[in-house]
A and B are shown apart, each in its own frame.
Chain A
Amino acid sequence: MQTMRGETVQVIVFKLGDERYGVDISQVREIIRPSLITRIPNAPDFVEGVINLRGQITTIVNLRKRFGLLPKAIDNDTRIIVVEYNNAVIGMMVDTVNEVKYLSQKDIEALPSIITAREEAKFLKGVGKLPDGLLILIDLNKVLNEGEVEKIK
């Protein structure tokens, strides 16, 4: 247990609005700038479309829309975090990517179920405590799971 507590995870810190979020670096393949996105009509509204990532068709999810935040136009800071999930490659569009942080397990606090049960908080895995503030860790399984999408509908 002691060693578990001592373990650290590397997280990529990105921003949506004023809030800071983190995603485990082991799940991230790369971070790219937005390129030409092809819209797919009739797709769920949080799907921006698809891009050609070196020959691989990559679905782009607008994380703002996914989290129910107000959409924001693409600007110079906009980044796409490409993750591999269930053998598919998915890009998550975020406002900006700030940095990579080390987080030790003891600084990660699970969210109480009273919070995660709420609709707007169900994508969250926990909260990371950093010297300069708090960091929300997102749960890719929930963000990118199709079954979850069905439930929303």
Chain B
Amino acid sequence: MSDYKTDFLHEAKEFVEIMNQCFLRLEKGEKSAIDEIFRAAHTLKGMAGFMGYKNLENLCHKLESVLGKFRDREVGEDIVDILLLSVDKISEMLCKIENDNCDEVDCRLIFEKLYEIEEERVEKEVENANLKIEIKIAENCQMMGVRGLLILETLRNICEIKATEPEENKIEDGCAFFTVYARGNVKAVDEALSGVSEIEKYSIRELNEDKKFLEISEMENRTELREEIREEKRDFISRKSEDVRVDVRVLDTIMNLIGELVIIKSRLLQIASKHNIQELSEAINIMDKSITNLQDEVMKVRMVKVERIFNKFPRMVRDLAKRLGKRVEFTMEGLDTELDRTVLDKMSDPIMHLLRNAVDHGIESPKERIMIGKSEIGKIKLSARREKSNVVIEIEDDGKGLDLEEIRKKAIEKGLISENSNLSEEEIKMLIFIPGFSTKDVPTEISGRGIGMDVVKTTVEKLGGSLKIVSEKGKGTRIKINLPPTVAIIKSLLVLVNDQVYAIPISNVVEAVYVDENNWKKIHGSPFLFVRDNLIPAFKISEIFGCEDGSGRKVGIIVEKESEKFALIVDSILDQQEIVVKPLTGFLSKVKGFSGVTILGDGTVVPIIDISSLLGGDKFG
């Protein structure tokens, strides 16, 4: 609900803004503006009605009907004044809604004014009258009609009454608000009226040829009101500044600039240490602190709550379950968990695929569930939480779980693996992420075409994350997605291969070992690294990249990809550093094995190795 309210307020404020601008245009004689105001007021009315803000709805309704009268007539300055006042009232209401969640604002005055214009009572030309006196009798007045007549009598003594609104006999019946057109002296009228008790307020206007008018008490009253509104508006503006909408591209640009700063900083550090300049080092250290702070702040700005995309899932799961004739209880946890906006936006579709799968493949039909002794209602849980520096998103269901035998059979049938291939349980589970894999014989509308799951895997890996399936047949499935909170700046290992530096993201690295005769094994021509009784397939980076093999003792970097370990053989490890990822463009955007490049402190460009595309493709071949 709170979400809707924020959205409502956002939009309502925009409409108020539109109305403000349009009224000003209207004042300048632009007739088309009235249609725009009309639309804005109408939409706002609808929104307010939907949200249950009666007062606001009423005011908008009134505004709308008043505007209807002016579609084909000149709109004077004073009318626009009143209309603007009502717009101010609307923003006052919005303020109130924002703070106290209610729209109870005193708007009797504005309603009266609007009523007046609607009834075309304003500026009614009365012959020979030079004064327009508006009088409001106190609400608690005992005999309103009598009081009204008394007032008229008083006025008659000092000036000539030309006409009254409404008619005199109506005033006699009791009318809290009436207008008198008269000929006389302003001062005298003012003096006379100020002496009458039970008048809540009154205003006297001089009707001149040029229609300039003088307002006395009402003027004061109105200024006060304006002042009040303005004041409220002021803190309304200051509150608004806490919630500025920023184009995500602007944030990206700022992030890039900070990236540049980080690069320049390490460059300066190198210079300082090279020339051994103490003072410079100190200055750089201070700068470093500021840059780190700046970076953290921008990172924070980029962070959004997972709620933003999670909120659309309950409806989706509900609709889907209904269509499939299943009963599902869907729960979400950790909605406050924050994730980089880019990461989150990219995860939206994958999570949707996984949830669809859970409903379609995971949860059994109610009949089946009762038969196997489960509760009729299946449970699906979507949760997010922070784990160390990463964010974990989990999708869990208590459905039938993965049938490993079935998956294996399907994979062989579809020619994804050979009949005698020996895969571990882990590997079999990962098969469901291969393009073209589906255990459902007849694809349903929702899932089962074998697309989707591979998209999930590639998206997660592209974001530098990993994916794990825990499943037990008959009990349920849990898919755990591990994501780095941000993608722009990553920690990485700098390695040397044939005098060229490469960066390997730390998130992929498990450990590093020296390579010697004891652990370097060749089995049937393929090299392996023997680490703590485990045989790990090894790849020489120099071979993959087709360059000369460097000399000296080699280092094996053990990396993890889809819960499988590989060893990358490099010449040496240089450093561990935070690097800024810069994408490769143009001709190089399709080059396999790299997620981008980075610039080191000394200005050299270093390619960043992308483990999954580097070793991808030949895994199940």
Contacts and interface: CB of A to CB of B under 8 A. Distances in A.
A40 B547 contact: no
A144 interface: yes
B586 A59 contact: yes
B49 interface: no
B599 A61 contact: no
A55 B600 CA distance: 10
A52 to B, nearest CB: 5
A144 to B, nearest CB: 7
B599 A55 contact: yes
B594 interface: yes
Contacts of B500: 38-39
A59 B593 CA distance: 17
B347 interface: no
A80 to B, nearest CB: 14
A43 B589 CA distance: 9
Interface in B570-606: 582, 584-594, 597, 599, 603-606
A40 B599 contact: no
B593 A50 contact: no
Interface in A137-153: 144, 146, 149
Contacts of A86: 586
Interface in A21-64: 36, 38-44, 47, 49-52, 55, 57, 59, 61
A27 B621 CA distance: 46
Q: What interface size band does chain A fall in?
A: 20 to 34
Contacts of B116: none
B584 A146 contact: no
Interface in B541-585: 544-547, 582, 584-585
B584 A50 contact: yes
A121 interface: no
Contacts of A146: 586-587, 589-590
B263 interface: yes
Contacts of A42: 545, 591-594
B588 A40 contact: yes
B585 A41 contact: no
Contacts of B605: 36, 38, 49-52, 57
A43 B603 contact: no
Given A52-B599, A59-B587, A41 B260 contact: no
B607 interface: yes
Contacts of B587: 43-44, 47, 59, 61, 146, 149
A88 interface: yes
B591 A40 contact: yes
A144 B594 CA distance: 21
A124 interface: no
B3 to A, nearest CB: 36
A51 B607 CA distance: 11
B541 to A, nearest CB: 9
Contact of B588 (A36, A50, A51, A85): A50
B586 A144 contact: yes
A136 interface: no
B607 A59 contact: no
Contacts of B589: 146
A13 interface: no
A90 B586 CA distance: 9
Interface string A86-118: 101010000000000000000000000000000
B547 A43 contact: no
Contacts of A90: 586
9 contacts: A38-B597, A38-B606, A51-B605, A52-B603, A52-B605, A57-B605, A59-B587, A88-B585, A149-B587
Interface of A: 36, 38-44, 47, 49-52, 55, 57, 59, 61, 85-86, 88, 90, 144, 146, 149
